Structure 1
């Protein structure tokens, strides 16, 4: 059996779809299933059992001998939430318990970290584990992810195989439920569909023109392929970046969304909200050499390929992965 936490969410549900394609059907889907807005993400997928998030550890104590792998994808990911207690409970403490069960029952683990741990990128975007304690995230979400990375690295007792993946800016199908936290492509598609126009944040940094703020955007299908690689690889434990390795501008992103919708780009700019202006990242780019060095060779989608497929095959029809 393979456990996927955050199973009804954006990345978790896509991962289950890919596992099903690979012939894995004994999936234990873990989530807070009271959130009915995510229910469609699991429709049509082959799942052995649904386990409520709060019941996982009791379930593991009873069924651990049958568990082959854990993907811990679930987390509170709202970067605008500032209640530290929520992140301590759902991201930090919950992850520690999963780790400890993986140690006790010798279960390999892949968990989701985040590029939010890098803050403003003062130390760059290298997945050098010696730098992790020096990173300065910009919000409680980033703090919770970095605090767990630091805790994991300090542990004398570790799962026999474990990997933390620092997800950069992920986009793709099954994010319909995410509201404000959905990707810019998702919001651009809906805004363009309604108005034939798109508004982006103005730059408040003299080093960047409006719309030329840059992010490392990664298509969710590429991220999932890396997860599967580690499930089969099961060596070279540690913390890895997971981005495309190539920063692109928000103007590029939205222009490609217009083109995928067969519309002429019409982009204007509004001030970045004052409450997030001093915490706004103007550039992120994953150094991906560590992953490539252990043998990962699959090419990532270009921004043009990823946006085109997402818009034409999923957003335009409301389809799910």
Structure 2
């Protein structure tokens, strides 16, 4: 059995889809679904799994031995909003909860794959090398990033990373993100704006070394993230912290252009002022160093921005559904 925490969320449910496509349904999902209005339950509709356990009931069942012992835990459950301001809640959900899951995996020798974040790198002045020994040099720009860094640091100092694999996800986009509100990808937001008014809003630059729309991100397609996690499941001898990105920095202008191209439309971009509360905490450049994962043996090529956006827009967003469905084989890569 495999346990996926955050299994109804963006990356977690995409991983469930990936495992289903491999013929696996011996999977226990842990999450909270919230209100019907958020629609997150749709991420599970049509997918196959053995059982669902509410988040608050999970740790007591796990720690008392009431659950079948899993072969692996894919720990994606966390507060993922970079704008979350409740520091105590972030510590509880992203740090303390993760420590409990990791402690169980160490005790039972269960394979652990968990979600860290590129937000741990802060403004990037310390680089984007996924080197465990440099964790203490990083300065996240928000409390979300700091909560992830705290667990990375704890995992390193307590020997968790000797057998577990942590993934520093960069800017992930793709199906099953529709419920994330303001935290949805720029691809998703751009598509909605184009369909509504035929144009896209991007932030103006507040730095003289970057033109408007030329701010850069490492955009990574969700299918690449699930491929990496699948490979890590198949290679339990590989452990440590790894970046999960495309390995290439692309501009927001590039992303908007790819979205327009997927819809066979000419780009129409409006540059708007960046909110003041973001100006001091905004990353102008991110790019994952993927050398460590490649040296560990991962060989699959990463999806280009144009390829990923085209598949996402044409096969999902513009087809009337934004989530994976096992019954619709036209959406399979």
| TM-score, normalised by the number of residues in structure 2 | 0.94
Q: How does 1:31-110 map to 2 (within 5 A)?
A: 31-36=31-36, 37-60=39-62, 61-63=64-66, 65-110=68-113
Q: CA offset at residue 79 of structure 1?
A: 1.0
Contact 2:43/2:323 (<8 A) preserved? yes
Contact preservation (8 Å) 1:215, 1:249: yes
My pick for the range that moved more, 76-85 or 141-150, is 76-85
Q: What do the CA deviations read for 1:109-160 (whole angstroms, capped 9, x no partner)?
A: 000000000000111101111111110000000000001000100004x387
Residues 251-303 of structure 1, C-alpha deviations (whole Å, 9 max, x = no match): 00001101111111100101110111011100000000000001100001100
Aligned partner of 2:10 in structure 1 is: 10
**Contact 1:107–1:160, Cα closer than 8 Å, also in 2:** no
Deviation of 1:194 (Å)? 0.4
| DSSP-derived class of the 2:146 partner | helix
1:173 aligns with 2:175: yes
CA contact (8 A) 2:162 2:240 kept: no
Superposition map of 1:275-290 within 5 A: 275-290=277-292
Give distance in 2, aligned partners of 1:312 and 1:65.
41
Q: Which residue of 2 aligns with 1:131?
A: 134
| Unaligned 5+ runs, structure 1 | none
Query: Superposition RMSD on alpha carbons, in Å?
Result: 1.2
* Contact persistence 1:106–1:160 (CA under 8 A): no
State which of 308, 311, 315 in structure 2 corresponds to 1:306.
308
CA contact (8 A) 1:257 1:308 kept: yes
Between the two proteins, the alignment pairs up a number of residues equal to 320
Check 1:275–1:319 CA distance in 2 against 1; reply closer, same or farther (3 A cut): closer
Contact 1:8 1:41 in 2 (8 A): yes
- Structure 2 portions without partners, runs of 5+: 325-333
Runs of 4 or more consecutive aligned structure 1 residues displaced over 2 Å after TM superposition: 33-37, 61-66, 158-161
The secondary structure found in structure 1 opposite 2:256 is helix
In the TM superposition, residue 65 of structure 1 has moved relative to its aligned partner by 4.9
Normalised TM-score (structure 1): 0.97
Matches within 5 A, 1:158-307: 158=160, 161-307=163-309
Q: 1:112 is matched with which residue? A: 115
Checking the alignment, whether the CA contact within 8 Å between 2:232 and 2:238 is kept in structure 1 is no
Deviation at 1:35, TM superposition (A): 4.2
Q: Deviations for 1:195-221, whole angstroms, at most 9, x for unmatched residues?
A: 001110000111111100000000000
| Deviation, structure 1 residue 33 | 2.8
Distance 1:121 1:264 in 2: 33
Number of the residue aligned with 2:152:
149
Q: What is the alpha-carbon distance in structure 2 between the residues aligned to residue 139 and residue 29 of structure 1?
A: 29
Aligned residues of 1:168 and 1:243 also touching (Cα < 8 A): yes
Structure 2 vs 1, CA of residues 159 and 279 (structure 1 numbering), >3 Å: closer, same or farther?
closer
Partners of 1:291 and 1:48 lie apart in 2 by: 31
Q: How big is the shift at 1:66?
A: 3.3
Show CA shifts across 1:1-39 (max 9, x none). Answer: 100011111111110000011121111000013343200
User: How far, CA to CA, are the matches of 1:288 and 1:27 in structure 2?
Assistant: 29
The answer to whether the 8 Å contact 1:103/1:159 transfers is no
Equivalent position SS for 2:241: strand
